[in-house]
Amino acid sequence: MNTIIQSLLSRRSVRKFKTEQVKDEDLHLILQAAILAPNGRNLEPWHFTVLQDPSKLIQLDELVAGAGNAFFYHAPTLILVSIELDNPYEKEDTACAMTNMMQACHALGLGSVWCNRINNNHALDTTLERFGVPKGYRVTGTLAVGYPDGTYPPPRKPKEGTITWVRP
Protein backbone atom coordinates (compact mmCIF):
# COMPACT_ATOMS: atom_id res chain seq x y z
CA MET A 1 0.00 0.00 0.00
CA ASN A 2 1.12 3.58 -0.60
CA THR A 3 3.09 4.68 2.48
CA ILE A 4 1.17 7.95 2.97
CA ILE A 5 -2.17 6.14 2.83
CA GLN A 6 -0.83 3.48 5.17
CA SER A 7 0.21 6.21 7.60
CA LEU A 8 -3.20 7.93 7.39
CA LEU A 9 -4.96 4.65 8.13
CA SER A 10 -2.84 3.71 11.12
CA ARG A 11 -2.46 6.97 13.12
CA ARG A 12 -3.88 6.83 16.63
CA SER A 13 -3.95 9.17 19.58
CA VAL A 14 -1.16 8.42 22.02
CA ARG A 15 -1.59 9.24 25.71
CA LYS A 16 1.53 7.80 27.30
CA PHE A 17 4.89 9.37 26.52
CA LYS A 18 8.55 8.78 27.29
CA THR A 19 10.26 11.62 29.12
CA GLU A 20 12.85 11.94 26.31
CA GLN A 21 12.49 15.27 24.49
CA VAL A 22 11.47 15.33 20.82
CA LYS A 23 14.35 16.01 18.43
CA ASP A 24 14.42 19.54 17.06
CA GLU A 25 14.80 18.28 13.49
CA ASP A 26 11.53 16.35 13.87
CA LEU A 27 9.77 19.34 15.42
CA HIS A 28 10.87 21.52 12.51
CA LEU A 29 9.27 19.04 10.09
CA ILE A 30 6.08 18.88 12.15
CA LEU A 31 5.87 22.67 12.19
CA GLN A 32 6.52 22.82 8.43
CA ALA A 33 3.57 20.47 7.97
CA ALA A 34 1.51 22.86 10.13
CA ILE A 35 2.37 26.11 8.37
CA LEU A 36 1.81 24.52 4.97
CA ALA A 37 -1.66 23.21 5.87
CA PRO A 38 -4.61 24.41 3.82
CA ASN A 39 -6.27 27.48 5.33
CA GLY A 40 -9.15 29.79 4.48
CA ARG A 41 -8.22 32.42 1.84
CA ASN A 42 -4.58 31.64 2.59
CA LEU A 43 -4.62 34.22 5.39
CA GLU A 44 -2.31 32.03 7.50
CA PRO A 45 -3.82 33.56 10.66
CA TRP A 46 -2.05 31.14 12.97
CA HIS A 47 0.80 31.02 15.41
CA PHE A 48 2.46 27.92 16.84
CA THR A 49 3.94 27.99 20.32
CA VAL A 50 6.24 25.09 21.19
CA LEU A 51 6.16 24.71 24.96
CA GLN A 52 8.98 22.59 26.38
CA ASP A 53 9.83 24.28 29.67
CA PRO A 54 8.98 21.62 32.30
CA SER A 55 7.91 24.16 34.92
CA LYS A 56 5.61 25.94 32.45
CA LEU A 57 4.15 22.60 31.36
CA ILE A 58 3.25 21.81 34.98
CA GLN A 59 1.84 25.32 35.48
CA LEU A 60 -0.34 25.00 32.38
CA ASP A 61 -1.59 21.58 33.40
CA GLU A 62 -2.52 22.96 36.83
CA LEU A 63 -4.19 25.96 35.27
CA VAL A 64 -6.50 23.95 33.03
CA ALA A 65 -7.03 20.80 35.09
CA GLY A 66 -6.09 21.58 38.68
CA ALA A 67 -3.11 20.52 40.77
CA GLY A 68 -1.95 16.92 40.40
CA ASN A 69 -3.79 16.31 37.15
CA ALA A 70 -2.16 15.36 33.88
CA PHE A 71 -4.45 16.77 31.27
CA PHE A 72 -1.56 16.85 28.79
CA TYR A 73 -0.40 13.35 29.71
CA HIS A 74 3.05 14.56 30.80
CA ALA A 75 4.10 14.98 27.16
CA PRO A 76 7.54 16.61 26.88
CA THR A 77 6.31 19.01 24.18
CA LEU A 78 3.03 20.84 23.79
CA ILE A 79 2.27 22.75 20.61
CA LEU A 80 -0.31 25.47 21.19
CA VAL A 81 -2.09 26.53 18.00
CA SER A 82 -3.46 30.04 18.24
CA ILE A 83 -5.40 32.06 15.69
CA GLU A 84 -5.70 35.83 15.28
CA LEU A 85 -8.83 37.09 17.00
CA ASP A 86 -11.92 37.39 14.78
CA ASN A 87 -10.62 35.17 12.01
CA PRO A 88 -13.69 33.64 10.29
CA TYR A 89 -11.98 30.29 9.68
CA GLU A 90 -10.65 29.81 13.20
CA LYS A 91 -11.95 26.27 13.66
CA GLU A 92 -11.31 25.04 10.14
CA ASP A 93 -7.74 26.35 9.95
CA THR A 94 -6.95 24.90 13.36
CA ALA A 95 -8.26 21.49 12.37
CA CYS A 96 -6.19 21.49 9.16
CA ALA A 97 -2.98 22.44 11.00
CA MET A 98 -3.63 19.99 13.83
CA THR A 99 -4.34 17.13 11.43
CA ASN A 100 -1.18 17.80 9.43
CA MET A 101 0.85 17.84 12.65
CA MET A 102 -0.70 14.62 13.98
CA GLN A 103 0.02 12.88 10.71
CA ALA A 104 3.58 14.25 10.58
CA CYS A 105 4.15 13.01 14.14
CA HIS A 106 2.97 9.55 13.18
CA ALA A 107 5.13 9.47 10.05
CA LEU A 108 8.17 10.34 12.19
CA GLY A 109 7.48 7.66 14.81
CA LEU A 110 6.15 10.14 17.36
CA GLY A 111 2.88 9.99 19.26
CA SER A 112 0.45 12.86 19.66
CA VAL A 113 -2.98 13.68 20.99
CA TRP A 114 -5.23 16.72 20.59
CA CYS A 115 -6.00 18.11 24.06
CA ASN A 116 -9.07 20.27 24.04
CA ARG A 117 -9.47 22.05 27.36
CA ILE A 118 -7.84 25.41 26.61
CA ASN A 119 -9.81 26.36 23.52
CA ASN A 120 -13.10 25.95 25.33
CA ASN A 121 -12.02 28.37 28.00
CA HIS A 122 -11.75 31.90 26.68
CA ALA A 123 -11.22 33.19 30.21
CA LEU A 124 -7.67 31.93 29.72
CA ASP A 125 -7.00 33.96 26.57
CA THR A 126 -4.79 36.64 28.07
CA THR A 127 -3.34 34.35 30.75
CA LEU A 128 -1.78 32.28 28.00
CA GLU A 129 0.51 35.12 26.96
CA ARG A 130 2.88 34.03 29.73
CA PHE A 131 3.09 30.63 28.02
CA GLY A 132 4.26 32.18 24.76
CA VAL A 133 0.96 32.80 23.01
CA PRO A 134 1.09 36.17 21.20
CA LYS A 135 -1.20 39.01 22.26
CA GLY A 136 -4.25 39.22 20.01
CA TYR A 137 -4.34 35.48 19.36
CA ARG A 138 -6.61 32.83 20.84
CA VAL A 139 -5.54 29.24 21.49
CA THR A 140 -7.74 26.97 19.40
CA GLY A 141 -5.92 23.65 19.63
CA THR A 142 -3.25 22.00 21.75
CA LEU A 143 -1.17 19.05 20.64
CA ALA A 144 0.74 16.90 23.12
CA VAL A 145 3.77 15.34 21.40
CA GLY A 146 6.36 12.80 22.44
CA TYR A 147 7.76 9.33 21.84
CA PRO A 148 5.11 6.72 22.61
CA ASP A 149 5.76 4.80 25.81
CA GLY A 150 4.57 1.23 25.27
CA THR A 151 2.85 -0.36 22.32
CA TYR A 152 1.36 1.93 19.68
CA PRO A 153 -2.46 1.48 19.60
CA PRO A 154 -3.77 -0.74 16.77
CA PRO A 155 -5.80 0.86 13.95
CA ARG A 156 -9.24 1.99 15.12
CA LYS A 157 -12.39 0.17 14.00
CA PRO A 158 -14.47 3.05 12.63
CA LYS A 159 -18.21 3.43 13.20
CA GLU A 160 -20.28 1.87 10.43
CA GLY A 161 -22.85 3.60 8.23
CA THR A 162 -21.05 6.94 7.92
CA ILE A 163 -20.61 6.87 4.14
CA THR A 164 -23.27 7.38 1.46
CA TRP A 165 -22.56 6.83 -2.19
CA VAL A 166 -24.80 8.54 -4.73
CA ARG A 167 -24.33 7.09 -8.18
CA PRO A 168 -26.37 6.93 -11.35
DSSP of the chain: --HHHHHHHH--B---B-SSPPPHHHHHHHHHHHHTS--GGG---EEEEEE--HHHHHHHHHHHH-TT--TTTT-SEEEEEEEETT-TTHHHHHHHHHHHHHHHHHHTT-EEEEE-TGGG-GGGTTGGGGGTPPTTEEEEEEEEEE-B-SPPPPPP-PPSS-------
Q: Does 116 bind ligand FMN (CB under 6 A)?
A: yes
Nearer to ligand FMN, 55 or 120 (CB): 120
Query: Under rule CB under 6 A, which residues in 15-44 are in contact with ligand FMN?
Result: 15
Least CB distance to ligand FMN at residue 23 (A):
23
Cα within 13 Å of Cα(140), Cβ side: 24
- Does the protein bind ligand FMN through residue 121 (CB under 6 A)? no
Can you tell me which of 63, 113, 133, 139 binds ligand FMN, judged by CB under 6 A?
A: 113
CB of 63 to ligand FMN, least distance (A): 15
Does position 114 interact with ligand FMN (CB under 6 A)? The reply is yes
The answer to whether residue 12 forms part of the interface with ligand FMN (CB under 6 A) is yes
Based on the shown chain and the rule CB under 6 A, indicate whether residue 78 belongs to the binding site for ligand FMN: no
> Of 41, 122, 130, 156, which one interacts with ligand FMN (CB under 6 A)?
156
Residues binding ligand FMN (CB under 6 A): 12-13, 15, 113-117, 153, 156
